[in-house]
């Protein structure tokens, strides 16, 4: 009888040690139900605020509109995004200054000169007229100059070829210099030398006085 009790005690001790070892070395049982994985927080893309010049509702001058574009490490990409935003048009009650059908083919920078190459729609879909062409040209160069301080001149190309004029009213055979006289606000004048305006008047004369033409819609 005594041997029997000793055997039972020994078996119980073995079972206890076995349970302890099992709890230590065997993986714990997976919890019941689906495993919920918390999504990683979405980091918003870096933005850059730019000023874009569109025509006022009367089509007489340029007015600035703020816009957020994606920030970029390569400067040409920021320039491209700015010009593309001009093509896309305003978000408020202002009037577009570039035909929406226009495709931006290429953009490049050399010192203070930016070359912008458009598709033929830039000319074919433009309504023409002195004032309309002036607002188109200066919305481009002024929008670039106010957002990228090193930019002072613009050369417009169509399908890779230098553009002499949009539809015969504004001379584009020479690069166009930034000129904020066509904008309703004069704030950018403080940051740009007056020399730019005088040079621009000499290098880019208007063939005829401004008419009543409206900018592209």
The whole-model pTM stands at 0.67
* Rounded percentage of the chain residues whose pLDDT exceeds 90: 57
What are the extents of the domains in the chain?
A: 47-203
Cβ atoms of 102 and 125 closer than 8 Å? yes
Mean per-residue pLDDT, 118-147: 95
Report pLDDT for 75.
86
Report pLDDT for 196.
38
CB atoms within 10 A of CB 212: 10
> What does the pLDDT look like over 47-96, one tens digit per residue?
889 999 999 999 899 999 999 988 888 889 999 999 999 999 999 899 99
Cα angle 161, 167, 172; round to 5 = 50
Report pLDDT for 199.
41
> What does the pLDDT look like over 157-211, one tens digit per residue?
999 999 999 999 999 999 999 999 999 864 443 443 333 334 433 444 433 333 4
């Amino acid at each position: 009888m005594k041997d029997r009790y000793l055997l039972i005690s020994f078996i119980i001790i073995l079972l206890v040690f076995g349970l302890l070892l099992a709890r230590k070395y065997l993986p714990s049982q997976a919890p019941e139900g689906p495993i919920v994985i918390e999504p990683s927080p979405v980091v918003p893309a870096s933005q850059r605020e730019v000023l874009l010049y569109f025509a006022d509702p009367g089509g007489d001058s340029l007015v600035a509109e703020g816009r957020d574009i994606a920030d970029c490490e390569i400067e040409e990409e920021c320039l491209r995004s700015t010009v593309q935003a001009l093509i896309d048009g305003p978000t408020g009650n202002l009037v577009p200054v570039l035909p929406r059908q226009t495709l931006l083919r290429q953009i490049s920078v050399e010192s203070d000169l930016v070359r912008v190459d458009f598709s033929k729609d830039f000319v074919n879909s433009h309504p023409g007229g002195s004032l309309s062409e002036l607002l188109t040209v200066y919305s481009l160069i002024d929008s670039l100059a106010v957002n990228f301080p090193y930019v002072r001149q613009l050369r417009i190309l169509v399908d890779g070829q230098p553009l002499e004029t949009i539809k015969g009213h504004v001379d584009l055979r020479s690069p166009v210099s930034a000129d904020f006289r066509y904008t309703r606000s004069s704030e950018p004048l403080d940051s740009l030398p007056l020399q730019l305006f005088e040079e621009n008047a000499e290098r880019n004369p208007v063939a005829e006085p401004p008419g009543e033409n409206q900018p592209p819609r």
